[in-house]
Amino acid sequence: MTMAEQVDERELQSLQQYLNEYTQQAQVFTHQLQLIEEGRMEATAAIEALRDLSTTEDPRVLLQVGGGTSVRARVESPDRVLVNIGADVIVERSNAEAIEYLRDRITEMEASGKRVAETLERIRSQMNEITRRIEAGYQQARMAGQPEQITEE
């Protein structure tokens, strides 16, 4: 094996390591996107529930009590909502303020999702470039291992 072949082999191994690292990063960012989307959908559903509570004469909800069981419960004050604003801090807000807070959170999640998606796209682009370089390296190695063909003119 010549020195040039050894260098190419090391480069290919290095590229494969980079590809593995980028693959792991892409998985992390994909998971983040899923969590952001779940949070956005949950906030949207909460907005709809709060709207329904404020427009219903006799507001009732299903209250999960654990073990896969729920009870029907009457909401005594549908115009007052407890909102977790982060770091386990819960504040009481009006129904309208809670809806506005959730809308703001959705906007923040959409912006975060966009940034994560852009980062994920850059990683995937780098992965494609590395994959292309690896394939070219293997193709070059195969060509180097074949005897030269003579073409007749």
User: What is the per-residue pLDDT for 79?
Assistant: 93
Q: Does CATH place domain 9-144 in 1.10.287.370?
A: yes
Domain extents in the chain: 9-144
Per-residue pLDDT, 140: 80
Q: What are phi and psi of 59, to 5 degrees?
A: -70, 120
User: What integer pLDDT is reported at residue 114 of this predicted model?
Assistant: 98
Mean pLDDT, consecutive 10-residue stretches, the chain (153 aa), reads 54 91 97 97 96 90 93 93 93 96 97 97 96 86 64 50
What pLDDT was estimated at residue 151?
52
Please name the helix (run of DSSP H) or strand (run of DSSP E) that holds residue 94, with its range, or none. Answer: strand 89-94
> Residue 148 has what pLDDT?
52
